[in-house]
Amino acid sequence: MLNRRKFIQRSLGTVLVLATNSIFNEALAKSSFTKLTILHTNDMHSRIESFSSDDKKFAGRGGMATRAALIKQIRREEKNVLLLDSGDIFQGTPYFNFFGGEVEFKLMSQMKYDAATLGNHDFDAGLEGLLQQLPNANFPFLNVNYDFSKTILNGHIQQYKIFQFEKIKVGVFGIGIELEGLVPKKLFGDILYHHPVEKANYFASVLKHEYKCDYIICLSHLGYKHNSSKISDVLLAAETENIDMILGGHTHTFMQQPDNVKAKNGKPCIISQSGWAGLLMGKTDIIFDEKNKCLTTNFSQVKI
148-184 residue pLDDT tens: 999 999 999 999 999 999 999 999 999 999 999 999 9
Nearest residue to 238 (alpha-carbon basis) of 262, 212, 216, 204: 262
Chain segment 53-106, per-residue pLDDT in tens: 999 999 999 999 999 999 999 999 999 999 999 999 999 999 999 999 999 999
Cα–Cα distance measured from residue 39 to residue 14, given in angstroms and rounded to the nearest whole number? 15
Cα–Cα distance measured from residue 268 to residue 272, given in angstroms and rounded to the nearest whole number? 13
Say yes or no to pLDDT of 5 above 70: no
Cα–Cα distance measured from residue 163 to residue 161, given in angstroms and rounded to the nearest whole number? 7
Say yes or no to pLDDT of 260 above 70: yes
What 3-state class would DSSP assign to 33? Answer: coil
What is the torsional sign of CA 133, 139, 110, 82? positive
Cα–Cα distance measured from residue 219 to residue 198, given in angstroms and rounded to the nearest whole number? 15
Q: Domain locations in the chain? A: 4-303
Nearest residue to 187 (alpha-carbon basis) of 104, 248, 134, 125: 125
| Beta strand 168-175 pairing with 160-165 | antiparallel
Cα–Cα distance measured from residue 109 to residue 129, given in angstroms and rounded to the nearest whole number? 18
pLDDT interval class at 132 (50, 70, 90): very high
Burial of 13 (0-12, 13-18, 19+ CB in 10 A): middle
Cα–Cα distance measured from residue 52 to residue 213, given in angstroms and rounded to the nearest whole number? 43
Say yes or no to pLDDT of 134 above 80: yes
Whole-model pTM: value is 0.90
| Beta strand 192-193 pairing with 81-85 | unpaired
Q: For the residues 96-123, what does the mean pLDDT come to?
A: 98
What 3-state class would DSSP assign to 281? Answer: strand
Nearest residue to 250 (alpha-carbon basis) of 115, 124, 87, 113: 87
What pLDDT sits at residue 257? 93
Q: Which CATH number fits domain 4-303: 1.10.10.60, 3.60.21.10, 3.90.226.10, 3.40.190.10?
A: 3.60.21.10
Cα–Cα distance measured from residue 73 to residue 1, given in angstroms and rounded to the nearest whole number? 13
Contacts for 228 with CB less than 8 Å, ≥ 6 apart: none
pLDDT interval class at 135 (50, 70, 90): very high
